[in-house]
Amino acid sequence: MLSILVQQVKQLNIDKKDHPFKIHIVVMTKDDAAEVCDALSDESISCLMLTIDVSDADMQARAAHDQIESNKEYVREQLTKMKEQCVVCKALTNM
């Protein structure tokens, strides 16, 4: 996958030689960013890596936590929809 990315960027450099441009590549971890930057640098393509001051483990933990919270919200929404459509619940509410 990384070699395909590098080849695509090289081709863009050829195609857009007369027009300055930038490509933004978003990755999950600092290690991934370093790997992409190294691969581009190996092909003499300049690269700037911007990262946040969070370890890869913390980033992955945060992503897992966000996924759990997202799942909880989804379940809440589904339960609310089910309650709204439930005939028994409607009958109890109208009593």
| pLDDT tens-digit map of 5-64 | 888 888 887 777 777 667 778 887 788 888 988 998 898 888 888 777 777 788 788 888
* Amino acid in the structure at residue 61: A
Same domain, 16 and 45: yes
Same domain, 25 and 64: no
Domain count, the chain: 2
| Residue 91 pLDDT > 70 | no
| Mean pLDDT across 71-85 | 86
Same domain, 35 and 64: no
Same domain, 66 and 41: no
CB burial of residue 40 (10 Å; 0-12, 13-18, 19+): buried
Final residue belonging to a domain, choices 33, 51, 69 = 51
> Residue 90: what pLDDT?
65
Same domain, 59 and 47: no
Which residue range(s) make up the domain with 78? 55-95
Same domain, 1 and 46: yes
